[in-house]
Amino acid sequence: MSDMVPNRQKSKTKIRQLQDLFKGFWQWTSIYNVFFAASLTLFVFVRFLDFFITPTINKIFVFISIFTFFFIVSLFVITPILNGLKAKRKLCLIIVFISLVITGVLYILLPVQKFSVRTLHTLEVSITPDSGPVVFENFIGPIKTSIPWTDVTFDGTIYMDSVTIPPGGELFYSREMTGGLSFMLSTSEKDSEAIVVWDGVKTVVPIPVGVKIDLVMDSTSLGILPKPSQFLLLAVKINEWVCLFLTLILILGSGYLILKKSDFHYRIVHWETLRYLGDYLILSGVLILFAIVFRAYRPDTLTKNLYIVLPSFFYLLLKIIYWVVPSLSIVLFSLILLVNIFAHYIWFDKITLRVRNVDDRTFNRLVRIVYPSDTTVMSLGFFQQLRDSELILAQGSFLAEDENVARLNRINYHENIYILDYPGELSIEDYERLLQLNDWSTWNRGRDGTFYFYKAELAVTTPIVVFTYLDDILLIPEEQLDDLGLFNDFIFD
């Protein structure tokens, strides 16, 4: 019993220290710290860490992680300066007034800052009638991903990764996105001219023979802004000047107090608490700097800010828990360990043993255990036939959805995937008639349907047409359609 009393007193003492830390929180110094940390966080996030292309839920956690770092630094390091100014109210008002005037002057003199926000962008490319055919290629989106031709409206023909637009033809693309587009124009017959309209701004582009013209659309063009983007952009622009205003107050106030050393002594508040959080501050600062450098070095990749800065926030939570209730962190660690042991020995090993016991050449049994997507099963089951092939999908079928088309392209490296308007859903009569044939290779997925490939043992030299019946998917080479009495009005250039 004698050992428990000091431990309880120690715990109460630490809780009291936390209470003292936030005692009188609503004084103006604390309010300044909150606003300054929030404003500086948003400024850093927008300027250096791709605020606008970060998903909303990621925005929240990244903001919290960075804000926590700046707020703790402000609470311990800036508070002594604010306390020094608080005693001189007349001086404080003068500094606020001067900061406000400087901010206003800079607002008038400096150019308007532009940002790449999520908006509805529209691209129109028209070829003048007296031009030759123009090749439109390398159509790249905001995060350096190719835009599928199925999302584009155009006059002309597709060949590989390009579209040839005839004289007088047009290409149109419109989508809500964050950032601009890039593409390449060229011609081989005679000097041509294209009229490019990006969000209503018209540009005439001459295209000499044999010269490839690279064009990059302005990512900061506002296009047609939806309401959420309008409010977000307004808040970001206001914050730029709020951050400058609060920073000027801090700089001018610090400068005055440093020059008047006789009546001001800088002393960090709650030094022991700051020492305890020192390793967190170092870790968080390093991770924020790493995130900024990573974005500067890899500006065209998907943002990884959440995975970089969030660990420091969790580390802070663990330190606080351990500080207040040391045994609680041990309990949490034990629970995590038990969950991992259970997952490894009860679930993971069980699945591993099931996979190891699957007989050779039983891909369909492996599929039932692992349960991948339909596109994965189709790609792995018929990888020899589908790799580098051309695939025809029925418009409106689930395989023709953007996500599935992209995955099929990634796995199989298709020459082309055509999404065409044809009767892709078989009637029950055609389905039963076709299954009576003996030339099918199958992958049975039980209740999830079966994949059928007609004459899979032959070399595929024509596009593969996909038909469906309920959950079953049938892949048939285009050259076999006539013999099977199926739709075959496909025309390929």
Beta strands in 70-217 (DSSP E): 118-127, 134-140, 153-154, 157-159, 162-165, 170-178, 182-186, 192-198, 201-207, 213-216
Token pair 């000047």 is found at: 241
Q: What is the pLDDT of residues 5-48, one digit of tens each?
A: 445 555 556 556 555 555 544 477 888 999 999 999 999 999 88
Q: What is the pLDDT of residues 299-336, one digit of tens each?
A: 766 668 888 999 999 889 888 877 777 766 677 777 77
Q: What is the pLDDT of residues 42-83, one digit of tens each?
A: 999 998 888 888 888 889 999 999 999 999 999 888 988 888
In the predicted model, what is the mean pLDDT of the chain? 81
Quick one: tokens of 230? 């309008």
C-alpha angle 70-72-74 in degrees, rounded to nearest 5: 65
What pLDDT does 218 receive?
92
CA distances from 481 to 71, 94, 467 (A): 69, 86, 11
Q: 472: helix, coil or strand? A: strand
Contact 164, 135 (CB under 8 A): yes
Residue 142: phi, psi to the nearest 5?
A: -60, -35
pLDDT band at 342 (very low <50, low <70, confident <90, very high): low
Per the model's pLDDT, the better-predicted residue between 410 and 291 turns out to be: 291
Above 50 in pLDDT, residue 353? Answer: no
* Cα 39 to chain centroid, rounded: 23
Contact 465, 471 (CB under 8 A): no
The answer for residues whose C-beta is within 8 angstroms of residue 378's C-beta and 6 or more apart is 386, 408, 451, 473, 475
Above 80 in pLDDT, residue 249? Answer: yes
In eight-state DSSP terms, residue 118 is E
Rounded Cα gap, residues 62 and 323, in angstroms: 24
- Work out the average pLDDT over 400-412: 80
What pLDDT does 492 receive?
53
What pLDDT does 127 receive?
93
Rounded Cα gap, residues 165 and 290, in angstroms: 45
Burial, 278: exposed, middle or buried (Cβ in 10 Å; 0-12, 13-18, 19+)? exposed
- Work out the average pLDDT over 270-294: 90
What pLDDT does 370 receive?
54
- Work out the average pLDDT over 231-248: 93
Q: What is the pLDDT of residues 146-202, one digit of tens each?
A: 888 888 888 888 887 889 999 999 999 998 888 889 999 999 888 999 999 999 999
Burial, 27: exposed, middle or buried (Cβ in 10 Å; 0-12, 13-18, 19+)? middle
CA atoms within 13 Å, Cβ hemisphere of 153: 7
Rounded Cα gap, residues 459 and 364, in angstroms: 23
What pLDDT does 360 receive?
46
Contact 427, 393 (CB under 8 A): no
| Closest by CA position to 210, among listed 191, 196, 194 | 191
Above 60 in pLDDT, residue 104? Answer: yes
What pLDDT does 405 receive?
82
| Closest by CA position to 461, among listed 419, 424, 415, 411 | 415
Contact 136, 171 (CB under 8 A): yes
pLDDT band at 343 (very low <50, low <70, confident <90, very high): low
What pLDDT does 401 receive?
83
Per the model's pLDDT, the better-predicted residue between 358 and 208 turns out to be: 208
What pLDDT does 391 receive?
85
Above 50 in pLDDT, residue 4? Answer: no
The answer for residues whose C-beta is within 8 angstroms of residue 202's C-beta and 6 or more apart is 195, 196
What pLDDT does 45 receive?
93
- Work out the average pLDDT over 460-477: 85
Report the percentage of the chain scoring pLDDT > 70.
Answer: 83
Angle between helix 79-86 and 28-48 (nearest 10)? 140
Report the percentage of the chain scoring pLDDT > 90.
Answer: 30
pLDDT band at 123 (very low <50, low <70, confident <90, very high): very high
Contact 195, 156 (CB under 8 A): no
